[in-house]
Amino acid sequence: MSERTYKLQKGDQVVMHTCMEHDHPDNFGKIWTCRSDEFQHKGHDYGSIFLEGFSGSFSTEFLQKVDVSALVDSLQQQVAQLQEMSKLHTSGAKQLVQDLHTLRMDRDELRKALEWYADKEKYEEIFIPGIEEYQSPPILDDVGQVARTALGRE
């Protein structure tokens, strides 16, 4: 294991590793705050420190300093990105609903036009009683006007 080039200080945040205390369910992955600067007990060659919420001193050999502020910044950026994505998805969903409504209206207009053209009576001459004449079929007078209206071209 390589020698650390820094000393832990009061307020630093650390996690335990490779020790018996690390494996305890209450400590595993927990971020501890140093309540003292790193020091050496008289007659010992290893560093010790006091941790908030931990009884007694703890060997610094089994502690890793963590940069929680960088993690918080990263998480805040991720939250902001997710919020932006949520806005985009919401606005996209609103646009899809509007588009669907428009498509349904267009479909209804086109169906109405198709039904008009599908009506066999539109192709038959119309007999006008009293003057005993026939009027040309409505399809000839239409010359595509119903279709152009349904397609939005007139």
pLDDT tens digits, 115-153: 999 999 989 898 888 888 888 888 888 888 998 888 887
Judgement on whether residues 73 and 53 belong to the same structural domain of the protein: no
User: Cα–Cα distance between 28 and 50 in angstroms, integer?
Assistant: 18
Mark whether 88 and 41 lie in a shared domain.
Answer: no
Q: Does 78 fall in a domain?
A: yes
Number of domains in the chain: 2
- Examine residue 20 and state whether it is found in any structural domain, yes or no: yes
Considering the domain boundaries, does residue 6 fall inside one? Answer: no
Q: Residue 112 corresponds to which tokens in the numbers above?
A: 């109405």
For position 94, what pLDDT does the model report?
A: 93
Q: Considering the entire predicted model, what is its pTM?
A: 0.49
Q: Could you tell me where the DSSP H helices lie in 14-130?
A: 68-118
Q: Please tell me whether residues 40 and 86 are part of one structural domain.
A: no
75 with 136, same domain: the answer is: yes
Let me know if residue 99 belongs to a domain. Answer: yes
**Confidence class of residue 154 from pLDDT cuts 50, 70 and 90?**
low
Q: Establish if 8 belongs to a structural domain.
A: no
78/141 same-domain check = yes
Residue 57's nearest CA partner among 30, 39, 31, 44 is 39
Residues 88 and 134 in one domain: yes
Euclidean distance between CA atoms 16 and 62, whole angstroms: 6
